[in-house]
Amino acid sequence: MDAIIGFKEMTVSSKGQIVIPKNLRNSTFPEGSHAAIVAYADHIEIRPLSYVLEKLECALTSQPSFAKEWDTPEEDQAWDNLLEHALENEQTET
C-alpha cells in the first residue's frame, strides 16, 4: 500500500474545479507533468499518467489478441449479463 504523504481539505468550485495544495503538487506532479483521473464508485484518484500507463501496459498490449478470441456474440451476451448483475447488486447496496 502506498504511504500517505499529506492530507489537506479542499473545496470543489461551482465549476467542479479543485486546487491541489502546492506542497502535495510539487512532490508528485512537477510543473508540466501529465496526470490521469481514475474514477471509482466511491472515490477519485489523481495519478501520474506514467503510473497509469505502466499498470495498463499488459492489458493494452493483450487487447488485440484477446479481441480475436472474445469478440463473439456469445461473449458480448455474457458480458451484458455480468454488467446487469453488477448494476443490480450496486442498486441493492445503496
At 44-87, the pLDDT tens digits run 888 888 888 887 776 666 666 666 666 677 777 877 777 777 77
3-state SS class at 94? coil
Q: Return the pLDDT at 24.
A: 81
pLDDT given for residue 15 in this prediction:
94
Residues linked to residue 38 through DSSP beta bridges, in sequence order: 45
Distance CA 83, CA 25 (A): 37
Closest by CA to 55, choosing from 44, 47, 65, is 47
Percent of the chain with pLDDT over 70: 77
Cα within 13 Å of Cα(49), Cβ side: 6
What pLDDT does 78 receive?
Answer: 77
Look up residue 50 and give its three cell numbers: 506514467
